[in-house]
């Protein structure tokens, strides 16, 4: 077609971009060196092998990071060629398998997983017919490697790739391995499994594309289709367009070629941007990682700064602080759970002080300390004449006093069912009526509730409304008892002692190692409140500046014989142990499928997740 074609070829091979020219029939006339490099159309890849085809009883090894994508359209049904018939394998699954071609003499070996479950590396390592075979799909580094004895066959990928190695059934030598440019050579996994021959590699054969139809070398994609249409006479042209050819990301320029006004073909200039794309992705991932680390460090610093009053360095208390920090950024209703003396009141105030409500009122209401007949009027207020002894001008309730701020309902389980109905209305509608009033009052207030009781148990006994439970249990935070975080006793003691001494107006005292050891041995049924009580007593008794063992109450750190033998425990502990074991067994049976476990245990979602957190089940 062109005069001095050899010069044109030399010139094209000097280009730093890929260059392809097809004539008006769609036949390739120029395909320069760079284009061959971009699309893997080179013959000297690896150790090399003869041309041939897969024969019955050859050992076929397949590794695919996305079944059906960039592997010639491989389907689960195609795996029947190597003896694998598994209805659980689906398109887009990650797959690795080894079997005999068109033979069921030996059972195949394979494994697969759903693409959404991808971890860093997917590996199949086995001995098949006395041959050591290892398949590795590395999702981080983006490569698939098949190792046969001491020979390794590696393929990098950008989005997806299907890799295959074939071992001769008689000689047990590698007779074929997949390499770059398999689409152009017509050597996808599907094509070879269906009986198509493969070309040689290395010194055995050089692959020449000149004179071949463009669709023999490249898949029938949009860019190649447009390339062909322009060669046939269609007027399309563009410059530096991002597109994908044979799975390779490229920057393409498409131009029609005409001589004396007659269309004779089309030219396609191609730049490989896969490396640029990889570098850009790595940069973006690094920046994302840095941002995540910065956010985590900022959150950790904020957690430490904002919740410095919550003492302790154990993992349990760190988790409480993290949840508290998240809670402070939300306006959802909170429920603080934990035994008496664990610090629920302190945590409630700390959350308020770290929130957007910090400059507004914080009203602490102990629902168990106020008589039931007074609690309603205290919470919701009353109008004049509402009852005998009522103020003539009426009274504003604590909900109104807490407007724009936080109301902390401590010991909420002690509230009567009648009051629970009114509280439910506040939670649902943010409105209520004063006692004896007819005017509906709107209130904007953040509610934090707390209890040391099991609210689910209270519901079953009819002492706590179920609808209210689901309203207050939006964001639960469990404060662990001191016996479950004994490593915090040292930091708690060091913080509490100076505070006690300052309050008493005496010189600061410290504690001996033996006395501290005794504190660590105690189970602290009264939690931090009991620890403060014990330390204050010791400060009062100790005449010197050091608290000794004999300044502590006799029972501290010394268990009774009956307790040490653990003859009888409280019924609640047995119930909790059984509950924990039941949840663990259900999760184990259903392979950590939480939905199925919940259904089998006949337990609500909120309750189930609360118990997972309570029992620290992961």
267 has a pLDDT exceeding 90: yes
Where do the H-state alpha helices sit in 410-480?
417-429, 455-460, 466-472
Strand order in the sheet with 174-177: 109-113, 94-100, 59-64, 162-167, 174-177
Cβ contacts of 109-118, under 8 Å, gap ≥ 24: 110/79, 110/84, 110/86, 112/67, 112/86, 112/88, 114/90, 115/66, 118/94
Q: How many Cα atoms sit within 13 Å of 320 on the Cβ side?
A: 30
Residue 305 phi/psi, 5-degree rounding, is: -70, -45
Per-residue model confidence (pLDDT) at position 207: 66
Please write the tens of the pLDDT for every residue from 548-586.
988 988 777 665 434 444 456 778 788 888 888 888 888
SS3 589: helix
Q: Which helix (H) or strand (E) holds 183?
A: helix 182-185
What is the residue extent of each domain of the chain? 5-38+211-272, 59-204, 307-478, 482-565, 571-614
Give me the pLDDT at residue 608, please: 86
Query: Where residue 275 falls among pLDDT bands split at 50, 70, 90?
Result: low
H or E element that contains 147 = strand 143-148
Inform me whether the pLDDT recorded for 444 exceeds 50: yes
Distances (CA, A) of 499 to 6, 191, 482, 496: 93, 79, 19, 5
* pLDDT tens digits for range 377-388: 899 988 876 666
DSSP string covering 505-523, please?
Answer: T----EE-HHHHHHHHH--
SS3 content of the chain, % helix, strand, coil (to 5): 40, 25, 40
Give per-residue pLDDT as tens, 347-364: 999 999 988 888 999 999
Percent with pLDDT over 70 in the chain: 91
For residue 392 the two structure tokens come to: 């003539």
Fold of 482-565: Helicase, Ruva Protein; domain 3 (1.10.8)
Q: Dump pLDDT digits (tens) for 66-93.
A: 999 888 899 999 999 999 999 999 999 9
Q: What is the mean pLDDT of residues 91-99?
A: 95
How many angstroms separate the CA atoms of 43 and 205, rounded?
A: 7
Stretch 411-426: mean pLDDT:
92
pLDDT tens figures, 208-251: 788 889 988 887 788 999 999 999 999 999 998 988 887 778 88
Lowest mean pLDDT among 71-80, 312-321, 447-456, 471-480: 312-321
User: In this predicted structure, what is the pLDDT of residue 564?
Assistant: 43
Q: What is the mean pLDDT of the chain?
A: 87
Mean pLDDT over 42-56 rounds to 82
| Residue 149: other Cβ atoms inside 10 A | 12
Count CB neighbours of 44 within 10 A. 10
Among 72-81, 166-175, 257-266, 381-390, name the one with the lowest average pLDDT.
381-390
Instruction: Please give the CATH number for the structural domain made up of 307-478.
Output: 3.40.50.300
CATH class of 5-38+211-272: alpha beta
């Amino acid at each position: 077609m062109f005069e001095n074609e050899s010069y044109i070829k030399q010139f094209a091979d000097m280009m730093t971009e890929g260059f392809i020219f097809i004539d008006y029939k769609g036949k390739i006339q120029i395909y320069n060196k760079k284009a061959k490099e971009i699309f893997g159309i080179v013959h000297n890849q690896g150790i090399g092998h003869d041309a041939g085809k897969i024969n019955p009883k050859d050992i076929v090894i397949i590794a695919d990071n996305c079944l059906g994508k960039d592997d010639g359209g491989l389907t689960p049904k195609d795996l029947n060629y190597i003896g694998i018939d598994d209805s659980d394998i689906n398109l887009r699954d990650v797959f690795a398998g080894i079997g005999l071609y068109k033979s069921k003499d030996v059972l195949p070996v394979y494994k697969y997983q759903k693409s959404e479950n991808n971890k860093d590396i997917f590996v199949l390592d086995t001995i098949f017919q006395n041959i050591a075979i290892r398949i590795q799909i590395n999702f981080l580094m983006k490569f698939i490697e098949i190792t046969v004895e001491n020979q390794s066959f590696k393929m990098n990928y950008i989005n997806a790739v299907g890799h295959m190695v074939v071992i001769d059934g008689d000689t047990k030598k590698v007779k074929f391995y997949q390499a770059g440019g398999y689409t152009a050579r017509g050597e996808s996994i599907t094509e070879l499994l269906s009986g198509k021959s493969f070309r040689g590699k290395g010194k055995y054969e050089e692959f020449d594309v000149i004179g071949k139809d463009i669709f023999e070398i490249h898949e029938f994609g949009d860019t190649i289709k447009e390339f062909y249409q322009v060669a046939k006479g269609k007027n399309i042209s563009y410059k530096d367009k991002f597109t994908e050819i044979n799975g390779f990301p490229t920057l393409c320029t498409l131009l029609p070629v005409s001589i004396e006004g007659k269309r004779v073909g089309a030219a396609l200039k191609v730049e490989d941007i896969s490396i640029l794309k990889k570098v850009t992705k790595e940069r973006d991932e690094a920046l994302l990682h840095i941002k995540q680390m910065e956010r985590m460090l900022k959150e950790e610093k904020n957690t430490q700064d904002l919740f410095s009053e919550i003492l302790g360095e154990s993992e349990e208390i760190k988790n409480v602080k993290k949840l508290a920090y998240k809670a402070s950024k939300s306006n959802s209703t909170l429920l603080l759970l934990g035994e008496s003396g664990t610090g629920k009141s302190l945590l409630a105030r700390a959350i308020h002080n770290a929130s957007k409500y910090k400059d507004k009122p914080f009203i602490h209401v102990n629902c168990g300390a106020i008589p039931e007949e007074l609690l309603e009027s205290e919470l919701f207020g009353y109008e004049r004449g509402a009852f005998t002894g009522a103020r003539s001008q009426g009274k504003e309730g604590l909900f109104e006093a807490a407007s724009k701020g936080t109301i902390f309902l401590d010991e909420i389980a002690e509230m009567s069912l009648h009051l629970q109905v009114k509280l439910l209305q506040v939670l649902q509608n943010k409105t209520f009526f004063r006692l004896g009033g007819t005017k509906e009052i709107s209130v904007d207030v953040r509610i934090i509730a707390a209890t040391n009781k099991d609210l689910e148990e209270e519901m079953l006994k009819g002492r706590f409304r179920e609808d209210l439970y689901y309203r207050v249990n939006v964001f639960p935070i469990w404060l662990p008892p001191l016996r479950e975080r004994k490593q915090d006793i040292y930091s708690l003691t060091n913080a509490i002692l100076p505070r006690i001494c300052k309050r008493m107006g005496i010189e600061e005292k410290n504690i001996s190692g033996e006395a501290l050891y005794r504190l660590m041995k105690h189970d602290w049924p009264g939690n931090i409140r009991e620890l403060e009580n014990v330390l204050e007593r010791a400060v009062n008794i100790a005449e010197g500046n050091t608290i000794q063992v004999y300044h502590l109450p006799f029972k501290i750190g010394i268990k009774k014989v009956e307790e040490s033998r653990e003859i009888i425990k409280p019924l609640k502990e047995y119930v909790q142990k059984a509950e924990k074991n039941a949840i663990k067994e259900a999760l184990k049976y259903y392979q950590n499928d939480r939905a199925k476990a919940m259904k089998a245990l006949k337990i609500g979602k909120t309750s189930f997740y609360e118990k997972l957190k309570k029992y620290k089940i992961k």
